[in-house]
Amino acid sequence: MQTVLPRWRGFNLLEMFTVKSDGEFHEDDFRWMRDWGFDFARIPACYTLWIEDDDPYKLHEPMLEKVDRVVRLGQQYGIHISLNFHRAPGYSVNRERDEPFNLWKDRDALDAFCFHWQTFAKRYRSITSADLSFDLVNEPPNPEEGRPPHYPMTRADHERVVRAAVAAIREVDPDRLIIADGMGYGRIPAPELADTGIAQSCRAYEPMGVSHYKASWVNGMGWPVPQWPGAWHYGETWGRAELEQAYQPWIELAAQGIGVHCGEAGAFSYTPHAVVLAWFRDVLDILTAHNIGYALWNFRGAFGIVDSRRADVAYEDWHGHKLDRAFLELLQEF
């Protein structure tokens, strides 16, 4: 049973997600999340938004002030903010930009990474961890030396980077709650970090044949039409038993007294709605039994409950938006 963290329930908000994002968060999102009973927002952010001239040490204050605003909105509406580097100096799963260095191998990248986290640690040290946590870097790769196409990383590389960032943060903000995403793109926990006292974050994307059907970024266009149970997952067939097995390493991590949260979850808009609801009910049932919270990949958009543009949903009009009431009510059950 996970007992370190609250069982936070919420969403990723994507207004700082890419190099072209504007950082303009919607206050309505926070109000609606609160009113519907949610208490968590993960903010996947791109570090290039708050630097100038591609210099990782030249900070752009107007964008940092937009980060300040999202933290204030969280406090105002009782939503815990988890600030995450979706693009960190030297690494991102998003290939929209080629990084000039490698976080897992290059000292210059690690120094910049620690500089940015220490900057936020100084900026927010008066804000408690009840309101704000730091999620170090989104979805480190598989711990296999030389894994193509980018960013080779060993398990030792990952541990070294995480420990360095934790030390940089705690130098100025010793009590900050820190979270590390699992390796293997959120699938593999790191029990070797248990002594740091940080929490860790898993994913609810398996089986991929349900969550990423027709998703171009994972070459999901040719996958079979999803069903649940009986879903396709890279040649395997998945049901509830396989899903439970996938979460077992995280359940064992929690049993060691390590905080566990599921930082991303959900299914792309091409997956049949009935399949999404059936699969995610099992996901929620498993996570909730172990007191593990979650955040859907987005609030508004293809994985979310607002404006998801699914072809097979009877949407409810909601203040000029389209609300997936059935999905919302499923989330509210758990």
Q: In this predicted structure, which of 35-44, 142-151, 178-187, 272-281 has the lowest mean pLDDT?
A: 142-151
Please tell me the predicted confidence (pLDDT) of residue 147.
53
Q: Higher-confidence residue: 179 or 146?
A: 179
What 102-108 contacts at long range (C-beta under 8 Å, 24+ apart), as own/partner pairs, is 102/151, 102/152, 103/137, 103/151, 103/161, 104/140, 104/151, 104/152, 104/153, 104/154, 104/157, 104/158, 104/161, 105/152, 105/153, 105/157
Residue 146 scores a pLDDT above 70 = no
Q: What angle do helix axes 155-172 and 107-123 make, rounded to 10 degrees?
A: 30
Share of the chain above pLDDT 70, in %: 98
- The DSSP-derived string for 112-136 is HHHHHHHHHHHHTTTS-TTTEEEE-
Share of the chain above pLDDT 90, in %: 96
Across the chain, mean pLDDT equals 96
Q: How would residue 151 be classed by pLDDT, with cut points 50, 70 and 90?
A: low
In this predicted model, what pLDDT tens digit does every residue of 229-265 receive, in sequence order? 999 999 999 999 999 999 999 999 999 999 999 999 9
Cα 111 to the center of its chain, rounded Å: 23
pTM metric for this prediction? 0.97
Domain boundaries, given as residue ranges, for the chain: 9-333
Token representation of residue 22: 């504007």
Q: Which CATH class is domain 9-333?
A: alpha beta
Residue 72 scores a pLDDT above 70 = yes
In this predicted model, what pLDDT tens digit does every residue of 289-313 receive, in sequence order? 999 999 999 999 999 999 999 999 9
Q: Which amino acid, residue 97?
A: R
Residue 220 scores a pLDDT above 90 = no
Token representation of residue 6: 């609250």
Please tell me the predicted confidence (pLDDT) of residue 148.
52
Please tell me the predicted confidence (pLDDT) of residue 152.
78
Query: Is there a cis peptide before residue 189, judged by omega within 30 degrees of 0?
Result: no
